[in-house]
Amino acid sequence: MRQYQFFFILIFIFTLILSFSMAAQSWNFIKEKDGIKIYTHKEAGKSLESYKGVADINAPADKVFAMIEDVNNTDWWDKNLTEIKVLFYEKYKRAQYYLVYDLPWPVNDRDLCVDVTVTINQVTGERKITAVPLPGVIPERNDMVRIKDYQQTWTVMPAGKEMSHVILEGFVDPAGNIPDWISNMLIIDSPINAISGVKKKLEKK
């Protein structure tokens, strides 16, 4: 009898842990703009939030993926980027690049070294482009703040012959002297601007 009681107690504890974990990972809907839905959620142990942008794009998944993956095709990227230097690029596999963000005075500009990996599911057609920091490649500059806590993933899935479902999910800590409330406010615009750039270029008639 005691063994059965112990077994049920374990199941109860496991259920509580699982429920808590799922709740902690839930996304909060923030707004929708130009067909792009934006969500955020609080990262455990961090004062900043992660972001997620979700949208459908009127273009085949392979075309959307090819545009996002090509680090030599950056005219749709964030307009605040003043420098983009490609360090390494192996098409549809991996890339490394260096970015400089121009921020308004009195905030110091930011720079970031990025390591990108690509995965393609040949069965479902799902494609992922994941970026994380790349340390020790380019020395830090005294006139800039190096972003070191960063991750971003593009997920592109077929949603029909001429339609794609796109998810942009990520987290960035700009470091330095930017208040958390400003950083959390700015992350809402980041996925909107990025996905809008893709949509405008590929859906242009």
Residues 31, 188 contacting (CB under 8 angstroms) = yes
Rounded mean pLDDT of 90-101?
A: 95
In tens, the pLDDT along 1-21 reads 555 444 444 444 444 444 444
52: nearest Cα among 74, 25, 20, 82: 25
In tens, the pLDDT along 136-195 reads 999 999 999 999 999 999 999 999 888 999 999 999 888 877 767 667 767 788 899 999
Report which residue type is found at 141.
R
Which residue's entry shows tokens 């259920």? 15
Domains observed in the chain: 2-202 (3.30.530.20)
Which residues, 6 or more positions from 141, have their beta carbon under 8 angstroms from its beta carbon? 111
Prediction pTM value:
0.83
The dihedral region occupied by 30, where left means phi > 0, alpha psi between -120 and 50, and beta the remainder, is alpha
Burial degree of 20 (CB within 10 A; 0-12, 13-18, 19+): exposed
Confidence band for 46, pLDDT divided at 50, 70 and 90: confident
As a whole number of angstroms, the distance between CA 69 and CA 63 comes to: 10
Rounded mean pLDDT of 33-60?
A: 90
- Return the number of other C-beta atoms located less than 10 Å from residue 191's C-beta: 25
What is residue 190's predicted lDDT score, i.e. its pLDDT?
A: 85
